[in-house]
């Protein structure tokens, strides 16, 4: 089959990791007899430089016409002083809104062979960590009314019943395919929007008798993620809480360079991107970890193209290459900063070589 994939390479390490992911997709195409047609599109800093806006209309059109969108990362110090609506991040938020990407799935998994990369004690991780954060992505404080001047400024958190219902449904659907446990995270002891959130999530839960629902306040959820991450299966939460908790969940796995994400709409193409940023300090040095982008491409295969075998093959290839001891610097046990790189059984490689090995495994 032939599929069209919109490719937004972005800024910083974005182009390098996306090239790695495309190399792996090419290996999938060859092995399984598909054709992936890539259509490049600009967003973020690259778009500001080329077109003066962070999200050109052409990019939205290319994405809408594609079967899925693969994104590297956007942003960098060069554009940090731009006006708020001209920051690279504004492009990403506008694209999420334009494509209606209300559901953000962020898996946080600890790979057995990477347990040492986690900042948590082995004792805490031994139970195995496999969390799916389901973050509401097109509502809440990110898109609420805001304003202000030099003396006072405000942002508003508002959620409608419909917005809560559809993200809750998505979380329960995801849970049915996993451990069938949902923790809904809110601040219902303080916020009116959280009170409605809790009520609606409870109502949706009635349609899923096989799923266990519990509620947790966001401050406690942060503590629980650090103390006992293995207790979680699916976490469903609002845009801002999800932004914060998914970084925390990612950090406990010890390898933010490994973490993929999918952003899904009701019917159009999904967008797939690593949860890490554009890491300007690593850009152009062939030092980034392409795994998050490669695993994002696997999610694209699975969720937007329906190519299950192919997605499994990519995930298995990543796992095997890690089991062979191949590491980019961010997940190496050795402290490369102090040149202590002689850890037995580990080979530290660059971004290109990591992607090449994963493609070769496929």
Residues making up the annotated binding site for NAD(+) are 76-89, 277-289
Out of 3, 102, 142, 272, which one is annotated catalytic? 142
Minimum Å distance from CB 236 to ligand IPM? Answer: 16
DSSP string, 73-88: E---GGGTTS-GGGSH
Q: Which does 361 bind (CB under 5 to 8 A by kind): Mg ion, ligand IPM, none?
A: none
Task: Report phi then psi at 134, rounded to 5.
Answer: -110, 105
* b/e code 72-88 from CB counts within 10 Å (16+ = b): bbbbbeebeeeeeeebb
Q: Which does 92 bind (CB under 5 to 8 A by kind): Mg ion, ligand IPM, none?
A: ligand IPM
Q: Which does 343 bind (CB under 5 to 8 A by kind): ligand IPM, Mg ion, none?
A: none
Active site residue 247: yes
Q: What angle do CA 71, 165, 93 make, to 5 degrees?
A: 25
- Contact between 243 and ligand IPM (CB under 6 A)? yes
Give the annotated binding-site residues for Mg(2+): 219, 243, 247
Q: Which CB atom, from 9 or from 106, has the smaller least distance to Mg ion? A: 106
256-275 binders of ligand IPM (CB under 6 A) = none
Letters for 90-109 (x = contact with ligand IPM by CB under 6 A, - = none) are --xx----------------
Q: Specify the 3-state DSSP secondary structure of 267.
A: coil
Q: Which of 89, 155, 286, 353 binds ligand IPM (CB under 6 A)?
A: 89
Q: Residue 270: in which H helix or E strand, if any?
A: strand 270-274
Q: Which does 136 bind (CB under 5 to 8 A by kind): Mg ion, ligand IPM, none?
A: none
CA 113 – CA 133 distance, rounded (Å)? 22
205-264 binders of Mg ion (CB under 5 A) = 243
Q: What angle do CA 304, 307, 309 make, to 5 degrees?
A: 145
H helices present in the chain, as ranges: 14-32, 45-51, 57-64, 88-98, 122-125, 161-176, 192-205, 218-227, 239-253, 291-303, 308-323, 351-361
Cβ–Cβ under 8 Å, residues 222 and 229: no
From the list 89-97, 111-119, 281-289, 345-353, the region that binds ligand IPM by CB under 6 A is 89-97
Annotated catalytic residues are 142, 187, 219, 243, 247
- Interface residues with ligand IPM (CB under 6 A) are 89, 92-93, 243
């Amino acid at each position: 089959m032939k599929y069209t994939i919109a490719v937004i390479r972005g800024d910083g390490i974005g182009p390098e990791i996306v090239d790695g992911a495309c190399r792996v997709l090419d290996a999938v195409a060859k092995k399984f007899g598909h054709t992936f047609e890539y259509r490049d599109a600009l967003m973020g800093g690259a778009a500001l430089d080329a077109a003066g806006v962070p999200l050109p209309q052409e990019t939205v059109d290319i994405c809408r016409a594609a079967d899925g969108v693969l994104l590297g990362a956007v942003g960098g110090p060069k554009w940090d002083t731009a006006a708020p609506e001209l920051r690279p991040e504004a492009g990403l938020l506008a694209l999420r809104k334009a494509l209606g990407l209300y559901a953000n799935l962020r898996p946080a998994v600890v790979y057995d062979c990477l347990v040492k990369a986690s900042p948590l004690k082995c004792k805490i991780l031994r139970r195995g960590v496999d969390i799916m954060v389901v973050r509401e992505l097109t509502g809440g404080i990110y898109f609420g009314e805001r304003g202000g001047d030099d003396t006072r400024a405000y942002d508003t958190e508002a959620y409608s019943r419909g917005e809560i219902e559809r993200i809750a449904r998505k979380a329960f659907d995801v849970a049915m395919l996993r451990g069938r446990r949902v923790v809904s995270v809110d601040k219902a002891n303080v916020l009116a929007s959280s009170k409605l959130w809790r009520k609606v999530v409870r109502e949706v839960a009635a349609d899923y008798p096989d799923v266990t629902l519990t509620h947790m306040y966001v401050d406690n959820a942060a503590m629980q993620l650090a103390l006992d991450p293995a207790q979680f299966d699916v976490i469903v939460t609002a845009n801002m809480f999800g932004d914060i908790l998914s970084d925390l969940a990612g950090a406990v796995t010890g390898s933010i360079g490994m973490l993929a994400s999918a952003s899904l709409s009701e019917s159009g193409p999904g967008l797939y991107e690593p949860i890490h940023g554009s890491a300007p300090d690593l850009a152009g040095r062939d030092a980034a970890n392409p795994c998050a982008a490669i695993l994002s491409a696997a999610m694209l295969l699975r969720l937007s193209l329906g190519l299950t075998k192919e997605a499994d093959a990519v995930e298995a290839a990543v796992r095997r290459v890690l089991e062979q001891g191949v590491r980019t610097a961010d997940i190496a046990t050795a402290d490369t900063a102090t040149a202590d790189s002689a850890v037995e059984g580990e080979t530290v490689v660059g971004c290109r070589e990591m992607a090449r090995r994963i493609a070769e495994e496929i």
